[in-house]
């Protein structure tokens, strides 16, 4: 029997891998030591476990362990990166370049900086969610201190050309920060070959625990400086104070170790493409984040558009219906993310889709499907047929619809 709802919202969060939970458990009870207590065995044991986890996280992104600092998640890491760089490099300048489709953790931190005298350039995106590299380069000024562009977009799965971005940043001597929360553990990420100076990521997006993340700060060429945003004891090399969440860190490390062995994306691409082509068979549908033709003709086992989209994500618009209505009509048997963020007062269309030029009606009618490690073919078949039925039913209630 299929377990309902079918969970296709892995970009929102992933379940902890059972092997992660197993690794964490002893650190709540038997090995409860404070990793900062270096004068006795329980503290040293915890410290050693944190060291191992730091190696595991660093290993997944090609960093040195000393360059990895633990935080409470990617939101905190993004705040630390943006505000910490803004403070540390204030004498060089106050200009930061980012993009309209970044995660709110970046955009809201930038908004905060704008209120405190910083100048933020928000690069636009085209219909496919891509930035214009020439526009990026043209936006760089003598007082630019940071370029903050995500690795892969959480709503559409669109992957930025990180390599090209970092080359532009290097050429102009500007730091490149990359929110890689949706990429780490999903596709190969390497801070050295990708040329990333500051990377942020989150454990719960890769089968680790919630409330756990990390910031990578390059230590040489260039050595990145940030001013801590949480003071109190100088933990994590003074970058982020506070007693370490040892079980969380151990789980994060284990999750990274597992991800390093499971980066083969072939299987998940196949399932995603099966889902996508099944849904695109429904009239009045299209993929957000890829040209229609490319998305409509996936080659089995191959990413529909190599390097441009995460292997496990598809964001699809259904004309003439809303995402919420589709979810309701399936009897809530599929857990996906809808294209509009429901706040209590208003139903705002997704700002990411809006920035890509998706009309509001289509944005309201879009769903983000994100597959994961535990997704099965049976689940995909169920999802396709449930959504097909739901959309047909909803449209039959609109006799004058043109679709």
Complex with ligand PLP: residue 158 or 316, whichever CB lies closer: 158
Tokens of 204: 């719960």
The smaller minimum CB distance to ligand PLP, of residues 103 and 272, is found at 103
Distance CA 186, CA 59 (A): 14
- Least distance to ligand PLP, CB of residue 10, Å: 11
Helix (H) or strand (E) holding 216: strand 213-217
Phi, then psi, of 350 in degrees rounded to 5? -55, 130
Kindly tell me which of 213 and 365 has the beta carbon lying closer to ligand PLP: 213
Q: 254 and 208 in contact (C-beta within 8 Å)?
A: yes
Answer yes or no whether residue 84 interacts with ligand PLP by CB under 6 A: no
Task: By CB under 6 A, tell whether 179 contacts ligand PLP.
Answer: yes
Segment (H or E) for 368:
strand 366-370
Q: Which of 182, 285, 338, 375 binds ligand PLP (CB under 6 A)?
A: 182
Which parts of 85-104 interact with ligand PLP (CB under 6 A)?
103
The DSSP 8-state label assigned to residue 158 in this structure reads B
| Least distance from ligand PLP to the Cβ atom of residue 255, Å | 13
Nearest approach, Cβ of 13 to ligand PLP (angstroms)?
Answer: 8
140, 150, 259, 316: which one binds ligand PLP (CB under 6 A) = 150
Residue 99 falls in the annotated catalytic set: no
If the CB atoms of residues 50 and 203 are measured against ligand PLP, the closer one turns out to be 203
Q: Does 69 bind ligand PLP (CB under 6 A)?
A: no
Q: Which stretch binds ligand PLP (CB under 6 A): 21-29, 71-79, 84-92, 253-261?
A: 71-79
First CA to last CA distance, the chain: 34
- Site membership for ligand PLP, residue 105 (CB under 6 A): yes
Shortest separation between residue 260's beta carbon and ligand PLP, angstroms: 20
| Pairwise CA distance, residues 197 & 372, whole Å | 28
Return the range that interacts with ligand PLP (CB under 6 A); candidates 176-184, 224-232, 315-323, 341-349: 176-184
* Element at 152 (helix H, strand E): none
363 is a contact residue toward ligand PLP (CB under 6 A): no
Please classify residue 204 by burial: count the beta carbons closer than 10 Å to its beta carbon, then call 0-12 exposed, 13-18 middle and 19+ buried: buried
- Distance between CA atoms of 87 and 354, rounded to whole angstroms? 32
User: How many residues in the shown chain lie near ligand PLP by CB under 6 A?
Assistant: 13
CA distance 312 to 153: 12
Q: What does the alpha-carbon distance between residue 274 and residue 357 come to, in Å, rounded to a whole number?
A: 26
User: Which residue of 73, 185, 303, 365 would you call a contact of ligand PLP, by CB under 6 A?
Assistant: 73
Helices 41-61 and 246-261 pack at an angle, to 10 degrees, of: 30
Residues 202-221: x where in contact with ligand PLP by CB under 6 A, - otherwise, as a string: x--x-------x--------
With H, G, I as helix, E, B as strand and everything else as coil, classify residue 209: coil
Beta carbon nearer to ligand PLP, 182 or 317: 182
Closest CA to 177 of 152, 201, 196, 151: 196
Token look-up 């038997």 returns: 30
Task: Name the segment binding ligand PLP (CB under 6 A); options: 72-80, 162-170, 274-282, 383-391.
Answer: 72-80
Q: Which residues are catalytic?
A: 342
Chain positions contacting ligand PLP, by CB under 6 A = 73-75, 103, 105, 150, 154, 179, 181-182, 202, 205, 213
């Amino acid at each position: 029997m299929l377990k309902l709802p079918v969970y296709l919202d892995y970009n929102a969060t992933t379940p902890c891998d059972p092997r992660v939970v197993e690794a964490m458990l002893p650190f709540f009870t038997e090995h409860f030591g404070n990793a900062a207590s270096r004068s006795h065995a329980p503290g040293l044991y915890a410290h050693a476990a944190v060291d191992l986890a730091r190696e595991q996280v660093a290993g997944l992104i090609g960093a040195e362990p000393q360059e990895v600092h633990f935080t409470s998640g990617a939101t905190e890491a993004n705040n630390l990166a943006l505000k910490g760089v803004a403070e540390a490099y204030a004498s060089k300048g106050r200009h930061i370049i980012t993009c309209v489709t970044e995660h709110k953790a970046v955009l809201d931190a930038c908004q905060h900086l704008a209120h405190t005298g910083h100048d933020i350039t928000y690069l636009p995106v085209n219909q496919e969610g891509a930035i214009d590299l020439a526009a990026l380069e043209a936006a760089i000024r003598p007082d630019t201190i940071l370029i903050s562009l995500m690795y892969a977009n959480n709503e559409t799965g669109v992957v930025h050309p990180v390599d090209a971005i970092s080359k532009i940043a290097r050429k102009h001597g500007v730091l490149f920060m990359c929110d890689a929360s949706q990429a780490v553990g999903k596709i190969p990420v390497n801070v050295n070959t990708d040329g990333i100076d500051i990377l942020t990521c989150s454990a719960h997006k890769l089968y680790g625990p919630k409330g756990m993340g990390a910031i990578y700060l390059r230590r040489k060429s260039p050595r990145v400086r940030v001013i801590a945003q949480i003071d109190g004891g100088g933990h994590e090399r003074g970058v982020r104070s506070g007693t370490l969440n040892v079980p969380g860190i151990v789980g994060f490390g284990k999750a990274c170790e597992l991800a390093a062995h499971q980066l083969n994306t072939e299987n998940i691409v196949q399932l995603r493409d099966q889902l996508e082509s099944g849904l695109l068979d429904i009239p009045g549908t299209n993929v957000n984040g890829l040209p229609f033709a490319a998305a409509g003709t996936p080659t089995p086992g191959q990413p529909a558009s190599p390097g441009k989209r995460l292997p496990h994500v598809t964001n699809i618009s259904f004309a003439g219906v809303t995402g919420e209505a589709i979810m309701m009509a399936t009897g809530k048997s599929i857990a996906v993310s809808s294209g509009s963020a429901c706040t209590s007062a208003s139903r705002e269309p997704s700002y990411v889709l809006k920035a890509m030029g998706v009309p509001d009606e289509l944005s309201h009618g879009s769903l983000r499907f994100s597959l994961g490690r535990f997704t099965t073919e049976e689940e995909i078949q169920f999802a396709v047929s449930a959504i097909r039925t739901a959309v047909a039913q909803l449209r039959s209630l609109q006799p004058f619809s043109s679709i």
